[in-house]
Structure 1
Amino acid sequence: MIDLDSIELRLGLANDKPFIDEICKNIWNGRDYLPTVWNNWLDDDAGSFIIAELNGHIIGVYHLYNFNSDSWMEALRIKETHRGNGVGAYLVQDAINKSNSFNNLRLVTSMENIASRNLFRKFGFKEKLHTNYMSINPDNILESSNFTNIQVIDNSEEILSVIRNCSIDKKFIPLWWRWWSLNDSSLLQYFKNGIAVISEHSGIVDSLLFIQRTKNYGHKDYSQLFILSGGYEEIKNSLYYIKTSFKDLLYPTIFCFPEFNSNESKILTNLGFKTGTNLVILEKSFIPI
């Protein structure tokens, strides 16, 4: 057993990297993203790594990122020899303590990770969204020749005006693998790294897609798709339009996170997207009821 009161917490440092590599070496068969993003995330003032030490040795780490009025917890890692002793729960509580001046603290885990889901529920997290990771190679985007009603919006005020006149039922927007409240600020953040593509006729919006490059998040340079609205034909046409007109935005993988078992996920499957991990977004709210 570990005396949790003996754990010391501090901010992560660049010279912690070798110890982080060691903790992560067996996670996802050695393909953990944390060592890849370590140095980039250290330089981002919006986030911080929290290191847990016991007797001078690193036994755990997590990353806390703040955007607008929300916090996001990610990259929770515990050294193999110290798992099952309450260290993970200790760090979750620390993240809660550090985030209680914000509106919400959110995180993501696999639907299949029942142990993690149960742990977070014990701390008052609610499951707010079930989603799929879906992806496609740009070479496999279906061809289309119907670009008549498609255009790119490159003005932030215009895109906000369009969105305010749309009927949108989504509450969250994923910026890389972080889910934020869907509002003007989060949409403009997405828009800052990419483009918005709209399909409309007679002033009525048929579809609205965002696509951005993800290199700004410190990880691989992929393309991330976010669909606010649209049916099969509109999404198909818009994707092929992006492929032929904005090749600089397309990288070996285009990925997105449609809601689990939604019409959007079915459309993407029919368009050739492959389904990966099933995910659940959990949220702990600090807003008084």
Structure 2
Amino acid sequence: MKNDQLEKMKNSPGFIAALDQSGGSTPKALRNYGIEESDYDSEEEMFDLVHQMRSRIIASPSFTSDKVIGAILFERTMNSKIDGKYSADYLLDKGILPFLKVDKGLEDEKNGAQLMKEITDLDQLLETANERNIFGTKMRSNILSYNEEGIRENIDQQFEIGKQILEAGLMPILEPEVNIHAEEKEKIDALVVEETLKHLDKLDEDQSIMLKLTIPTEENAYEELINHPQVVRVVALSGGYSTEEANEKLAKNPGLIASFSRALLQDLNVEQTDEEFNQALAEAIDSIYEASIT
């Protein structure tokens, strides 16, 4: 991790684009883009098509570093190329910091939460990430209801793996997502903050992490996290909200920036001309950027 990259992530205005749909979420992402499951015959074709979609986004003249600070990639995207360059190098040439999704999906629900499945190849994955010039990582778990044990286990797991990522020289984004439809969501948000602060206070002075959290129900609920010396940035997932709703909620939380997927991509379509595509992407980026700097 280079100091200039760390400073960029810490201080630059803008947001992080989430382009990390994995095997389970890729069919839906393609369907939203106008490509049905009947349009491809194999998983390989499916991943080729989603790489074409991601490449089109990343290569677009609308996708620029003055508004997009970073982009989260799926493992296959990291190992694929855009115009002859590995995806991370292409992003870095545009001044955008590349992140890698490292989790392997979720366990079944227990105690109102879903922990991450074991990441059996994490050491090798982190080694490859360094070789591919990745800046940081992201890993998602899920909280569905208020259960103190489940929430505590969720946060514990995120920090345990996050420390392993730090040791590899990469910046971890910890993502204990809270379902936007969860009952007692405000109460869940508060406990996520409480448990996260306990771990942050135990980090060494030279250990810094990022957080990716569901937009809080109570405005400014993440203020302590945003201002914590061990937190580089707190970013928000769109969580199923539309672009307009996600931006509206985000703008009410100063210091919280976006890391949207669905809200970034919702108006893009494979049938659009390059001009139409770039315009739709520019409008989404502009709106998310404005909400992130409010």
The alignment's TM-score, normalised by the length of structure 1, stands at 0.32
Q: Give the helix-richer structure, 1 or 2.
A: 2
Q: Give the strand-richer structure, 1 or 2.
A: 1
Q: Using CA pairs below 8 Å that are at least 6 residues apart, which structure has the higher relative contact order?
A: 1
The alignment's TM-score, normalised by the length of structure 2, stands at 0.31
